[in-house]
A and B are shown apart, each in its own frame.
Chain A
Amino acid sequence: DIQMTQSPSTVSASVGDRVTITCRASQTISPWSAWYQQKPGKAPKLLIHRTSILESGVPSRFSGSGSGTEFTLTISSLQPDDFATYYCQQYNTYPWTFAQGTKVEI
């Protein structure tokens, strides 16, 4: 299986901060990565697929980039609604796998 590792596990930030979350894959998966946002008690929400394609309705402050084995999710200016846990996923090789998540907290 392809292992996905996110860093940091937790990020403490303030409204207006720029936040970057990194996801590393154990082998090349480019460009087949996706990012999700999950709030407590809710199902995950798809934010980005194919490394950098923003889903319809997702604010433009979210962006994704990367290649090979390293991918990033950036929130350019953190808003109150963005405090949540974020997960990356690879869909290059079955079984699809997720990283352990990054919690963005105040």
Chain B
Amino acid sequence: GAVVSQHPSWVICKSGTSVKIECRSLDFQATTMFWYRQFPKQSLMLMATSNEGSKATYEQGVEKDKFLINHASLTLSTLTVTSAHPEDSSFYICSAAPPGAEQYFGPGTRLTVT
């Protein structure tokens, strides 16, 4: 199947700093990528839909100025958590779908804000 990677797999940052998470489709091009957030022992919640070459679409309740998404190419989308706070600590997962196929998920990035 198709492969989606994320980097880093785990990041610790101090409160007030920003952190960038990368999502790459390794063997296919994706015009659309999705960003999810998962708190411990909870389900995945869609944060935003990332579209190559255009602005991301954010779900209700997700602050677009806090969670900056850039889909600069057909194989890379980035999520930047700006001015991170401890409550932003979570597991962030991206997904992408090859043309005409189902979504594949990345391995996730665990963010811990101290």
Q: Do A and B come from one complex?
A: no
